[in-house]
Structure 1
């Protein structure tokens, strides 16, 4: 079976719109959470989010092309451009067979702003004025489709919809495809642009969001006793996955290796995680088994850790169940303390963070962890980044509906 490596990465996030700027923010413990100023939030319970700033789609794609895409699709294309250039796959001497180039990119919510805009037109101006492009702009597979079109990728294309696990589902399934010889390379990741009026209202009314509106930077606080919900965010994370043989054939720079993937379902509740973390435990266990490694070989865990009372407890329970006493020895980082929750883009962006962490032997901190929840008593790297020798990292992602996806990354050695 083929080994699978990562040869390119791209990110748009609340911490910055390049991989380097994103990584700088993580290692410094910066917060990307601010007051929402993109629409009127005066009547909303939660008024804060992690927004992608300084991104002008018309400047990037041109006015005509930008109008053909909802924001979630624009973010995905922009992140893919970064990853594609980083990988060098488009170089004139690249041996790439486009029939063996796949695209596995998903979105949980898709083009919700386009749907809202056209719904207003329907009510205000009638059905004759609704755009004929509503459906192609709205459907969540369109990011994968547009990437495929732009890069001429005629290999397998998939748009997973596993809620907040989409990034890891995409990466894991893409790695599986490459291992089995179904593709030489896959553009994989997730994208989301759901910080809009209706989704903010819905999450707020479900009491899922933090209401620390006067102190946005300290609102996302995984594992902290004072956490009061997650913070919505937007962005995109894209990784270029290749077979090792294909990457070596073109002398590509290799960031890391994808060595394991595990998935499961809680089979428990529409939105709540299983209180004992059974599904999370099963997915982590499956990922380690797929990687062929022991629990004691894991150096760092990138936690899903959304900053909800139930979710953080159940993830902690799952980690303890799998790792036993060793759980207290493994450093755990929670990127969402800085970025907020990017929903369908979150685990792809966090995969990039984990790669950078192993590359630099530096674990980003979990910020805002001032008084740990008594049920959350592991080593969450509070406050400041920590140097450590890192070779194998595990990244968790758990989504609404009980969808769990976990990947295992390894620092590349020949």
Structure 2
């Protein structure tokens, strides 16, 4: 890092709410936000945005005729981006860059148009433009009236944090002075759920017999995979240097990809995470990290390999470990951005949000630095080191 990057605003729409205070209150209550939803003739666990926020999304959709044909991934990102930009005090003259990604993109629209094609043998006029991944950043640039660079990308579940990496690179190159980054995901569709079930990673807990927590993310004694999908968007405003209105600073970034032995494999001790965390630490001592917000998807191998990677990097002085997937589900490309939001809230509030069914260890007296991890299919890990301002 040539110089720190200030995060001057962060905004999200998720199962926890659509503003930072309600999101923080939801983190404090110790309850999960996973619900059962019927897909065909079966119920599955999912995590949806709240009913009042669904109405807010519909208001955006109906406010402009052009927006009525857009997928939820675009609308979620529009909602979060408008609030973040306003909170940061950015104006249309800023010409800030945009990099919003999505693992799956316009899943709902794509499935709708595909069904239409199978039934009628032809596609609707808007089927191609409205299901293009580049839709997200392009529509945000249109809506926010910025003329800066716009990038959309998909790097599976680390998409949101890869957006942060891109923003850091642009800012430190001097090619722009502000960047809006994040992820948006709306994967709660029959085909997407079916894909996760085919991988045998989806949670069956509590579908037949009541349980306290359907997703056991970070629980090392579980005997079954317990991943649950969630939806939402999370974006952050980034500016070069130290800013008075910064919520936190990015003081380290790391990334790595490990050789694949299988399409969904990560090595037993997550070599990709070891490399990304060491890169993010840079010249900082591992002892300076107070909390690690884990990727921890709730699968046996995914959780255990990341834990082993943390143990390799931090050795005898482990920081406090936490995750939010037991509470909001796995939001694919948004997940890293929501983890970054949790990290910023803990830095701001000076309180660790623990996993209720996992013993909290090594709780810090003060929270000064938090590491955030994300990884996706392909072993493409990203780690960020955030610092209190």
Q: Report Cα offsets for 1:251-290 as digits up to 9, x if no partner.
A: xx2101011111111222321221121111011111111x
Length-normalised TM-score, structure 2 = 0.92
2:105 maps to which of 110, 115, 121: 110
CA distance in 2, matches of 1:366, 1:381: 11
Structure 1 residues 117-126 or 389-398, which shifts more? 117-126
Aligned to 2:81: 80
Equivalence for 1:335: 324
The CA distance in 2 between the partners of 1:24 and 1:165, in whole Å, is 26
2: CA distance, partners of 1:28 / 1:41:
32
Aligned to 2:308: 317
TM-score w.r.t. the length of structure 1 is 0.87
Aligned to 2:168: 175
Q: Aligned to 2:119, which of 115, 124, 127?
A: 124
User: What is the CA–CA distance in structure 1 between the aligned matches of 2:201 and 2:72, rounded to whole Å?
Assistant: 24
- For residues 140-199 of structure 1, give each alpha carbon's deviation from its aligned partner in whole angstroms, at most 9, with x where no partner exists: 221111111112222222223111101111112212221221211111000100110001
1:52 is paired with a residue of what secondary structure? coil
Q: Distance in 2 between matches of 1:103 and 1:10?
A: 14
Report the equivalent of 1:402: 379
| SS of structure 1 residue aligned to 2:384 | strand
> Given the superposition, is the C-alpha separation of residues 12 and 398 from structure 1 closer, same or farther in structure 2, using an over 3 Å criterion?
same
Aligned pairs for 1:190-339 within 5 A: 190-212=183-205, 213-214=207-208, 215=210, 218-224=213-219, 225-226=221-222, 227-244=224-241, 247=243, 253-268=245-260, 269-289=262-282, 292-327=283-318, 330-339=319-328
The answer as to whether partners of 1:266 and 1:280 remain within 8 angstroms in 2 is no
- Residue 380 of structure 1: how far off its partner (Å): 4.6
What SS does the corresponding residue of 1:407 show, helix, strand or coil? strand
CA distance in 2, matches of 1:217, 1:134: 41
SS where residue 367 of structure 2 aligns? coil
Gaps of 5+ in 2: none
- Deviation track 1:28-74 (CA, whole Å, cap 9, x = no partner) reads 2221100125xx34236xx0111112213231342524323101111
1:366 CA displacement: 1.0
Aligned CA RMSD, in angstroms, stands at 1.9
Contact 1:203 1:209 in 2 (8 A): yes
| Deviation digits for residues 357-410 of structure 1 (CA, Å, limit 9, x no counterpart) | 0001111111333xxxxxxxxx6569xxx7741111100001011111111111
- Is the 8 Å Cα contact of residues 222 and 307 (structure 1) preserved in structure 2? yes
Gaps of 5+ in 1: 370-378
Distance 2:336 2:297 in 1: 11
CA distance in 1, matches of 2:314, 2:17: 34
Q: Matches of residues 126-205 of structure 1 in structure 2 within 5 Å?
A: 126-127=121-122, 130-205=123-198
Residue number in structure 2 paired with 1:374: none
Question: Alignment length, in residue pairs?
Answer: 379
